[in-house]
Structure formats: structure tokens, C-alpha cells
Amino acid sequence: MAGPSFRAAPVRVRVPATAANLGPGFDAFGLALGLYDDVVARIGESGVHVDVAGEGADDVPRDRRNLVVKAMRACFDLLGGQPRGLEVVCANRIPHGRGLGSSAAAIVAGVLAARELTLGGLADADVLGLCAEIEGHPDNVAACLLGGFTLAWRSGGSVAAVRLPVHPSVAPVAFVPGSRSSTAKARRLLPDVVPHADAAVNAGRAALLVEALGRRPDLLMSATEDLLHQPYRAEAMPRSAALMASLRSAGVAAVVSGAGPAVLAFGGADVNPGRGWTAMPLPVADGAEVVAV
């Protein structure tokens, strides 16, 4: 079987930051935010050459271990074969290790770049499935791909997602600390079993959050309550838990963004989070975009 054909011209992909979970929607809800990474990729003569500027420039791999490259190679494998070489340039603005979807952005950028470079293509549903397989969960990659507020789920061996409405008055603010956290470590803090009553509360709050974000922002405080993951992770990120509690006590609906330690608030742009935090008002964003070069 013949391998894929590749386009000679470079491609550029722009991918947004994302906040996952949004309180009660663990591993299901995601929100795309207006902070972007850009990736330019082209087929090279041989080997893998990676240049990185911005976030992570001092420590991300610049070879086949780079996450963008890994995602590209996974997509090429799915499409029938690897190119002779790759040249990748990353301009990163999404903070790494803060719970703002930097890994999802890298994966989505890589898969979309590889699809665009491969003449033959890959269906959108397969793009989502591949990105979720690489990431390990679908919430961030769904929001990064589709934009806006998304709900992602697994059914059998496949992954699906829908984009849901967001009220124009919803104004996310990311409070970003200087320290990082590990998603894998944060997941290890979660129990295998939770009380049935807590699960029931979260199910109701997740349903309410769809209404709150779409039509009733006045319900966001109640809709962002969570008992399934944030309480169990609080001891590992006490400053995040304290800031979230402070914001909520001031009437600002706030949650841990993804696995943290960033805190996402719906409002509160004028709040002083204290030393070591940066407040970043970030509008709800559209999804990943392939831009002509």
C-alpha cells in the first residue's frame, strides 16, 4: 500500500488555551480561552527540527519527544506513513503546567498540522478521537478543537463532543500562579470511590452549569459547586484552594482550572489576587484554526 502524499508548503495552526472541568463537569466540560499558541510546520528533507519561543522554551524537548511532534507522528501513522523529515516552529503563549490546556493545545496543533500536510485528510471525528487518545481524556482537546463551551463524552470506543451556547456576559478571568503542577499527580489524589450523595450533587450542578453559562449567568455560583475532585486536591494546592474560597466568599464564581493550580473565575477582573498571581481576563474563544501561510 502506497504511503500518503505530502504538501510542500508550510502550514500554520493557532490553538487556544482551555479550562477543563469548570467545577462539577469533571473530564467532560471544557472552555476555550483567548490565549493562543501558534505552530508552523513543514515537511523537511530529513530528521526532526524544532524551534520553540515563549512558554516552555527553556525546557520542552526539541526533537521527537516534543509533544507537537509526537502528535504529528501519531497522525501520520494513522494516515499511512511518516514524511522524510519535519520542521516545526512553536510560538507558545499558554503557560505550561498551570491547568490551562497547554498539552491539549500542543496535541491539537500537531494533529491538525499533520492532517493539513497530508493530502488525503482525516475526518473531524477521527481528529477528536486521536487527540483524546493522546491526551488521555477528552475535555481539553474538545474545547481546543471546537471552541466555546464544550461537553465531551466517550461511547464505547469512540469520543464525541458538542459545543454549547455561552451567554455574552460571561467574562472568564484566569488567575495564574508562578508555580506549576502535574496533571498526573493531581489525578492520583482522587479516590476510586466517592459517596453517592456527592455524585448526585455534582450531577445536578453539572446540568445547572449548562443553563448558567448559556442563559443564566446569575446561577454560576451554585452551578460551579463541586464535591468530586477539588476538595481532594486542595491539600496539594493550598494557595489555589484559598484563592478560590476567597473569590467565592466575595461573590465571584471560581473553580480550579483543570488540574490546577490556576484558578478560573467568572468575573473578578478587578480583584487583587495577591503576591505571586497574575490575573488574566480571557474572553471565550473559538476553536483551533488552520491559517494559510
Domain hosting residue 108, numbered range: 5-164+285-291
Chain segment 189-215, per-residue pLDDT in tens: 899 999 999 999 999 999 999 999 999
Domain containing residue 188: CATH number: 3.30.70.890
In the chain, how many domains are there? Answer: 2
Least confident window among 91-95, 151-155, 181-185, 261-265:
181-185
Contacts of 135 (CB under 8 A, 6+ apart): 103, 104, 107, 141
| pTM for the full predicted model | 0.95
Are 233 and 144 within one domain? no
Are 131 and 202 within one domain? no
How far apart are alpha carbons 97 and 183 in whole angstroms? 8
Mean pLDDT of 35-49: 96
Chain segment 48-78, per-residue pLDDT in tens: 999 999 999 999 999 999 999 999 999 999 9
Are 210 and 152 within one domain? no
Are 179 and 156 within one domain? no
pLDDT tier at 156 (50, 70, 90 boundaries)?
confident
Are 48 and 21 within one domain? yes
Query: To 10 degrees, what angle do helices 102-117 and 67-79 make?
Result: 40
Are 156 and 202 within one domain? no
What pLDDT does residue 293 have? Answer: 64
Are 154 and 116 within one domain? yes
Are 29 and 135 within one domain? yes
pLDDT tier at 184 (50, 70, 90 boundaries)?
confident
Are 21 and 113 within one domain? yes
Q: Which residue has the higher pLDDT, 87 or 157?
A: 87
Contacts of 14 (CB under 8 A, 6+ apart): 36, 37, 38, 288, 289, 291
Are 200 and 126 within one domain? no
Chain segment 17-27, per-residue pLDDT in tens: 999 999 999 99
Confirm if 140 and 18 have CB atoms less than 8 A apart. Answer: yes
> DSSP states of the chain as a string?
----EE-SS-EEEEEEEEEE-TTT-TTTEEEEEEEEEEEEEEE-SSEEEEEEEETTTTTS-SSTTSHHHHHHHHHHHHHT---SEEEEEEEE-SPTTSSS-HHHHHHHHHHHHHHHHEET---HHHHHHHHHHHHSSSHHHHHHHHBSEEEEEEETTEEEEEEE---TT--EEEEEESS---HHHHHHTS-S---HHHHHHHHHHHHHHHHHHHT-GGGHHHHT--SSSHHHHGGG-HHHHHHHHHHHHTT--EEE-TTSSSEEEES-TT----TTEEEEE--B-B--EEE--
pLDDT tier at 45 (50, 70, 90 boundaries)?
very high
Are 156 and 205 within one domain? no
Mean pLDDT of 275-287: 96
Domain containing residue 29: CATH number: 3.30.230.10
Mean pLDDT of 237-263: 96
What pLDDT does residue 189 have? Answer: 86
Are 15 and 157 within one domain? yes
Q: Which residue has the higher pLDDT, 42 or 1?
A: 42
Cα separations (Å) of 248 from 21, 30, 36, 212, 276? 17, 20, 28, 16, 19
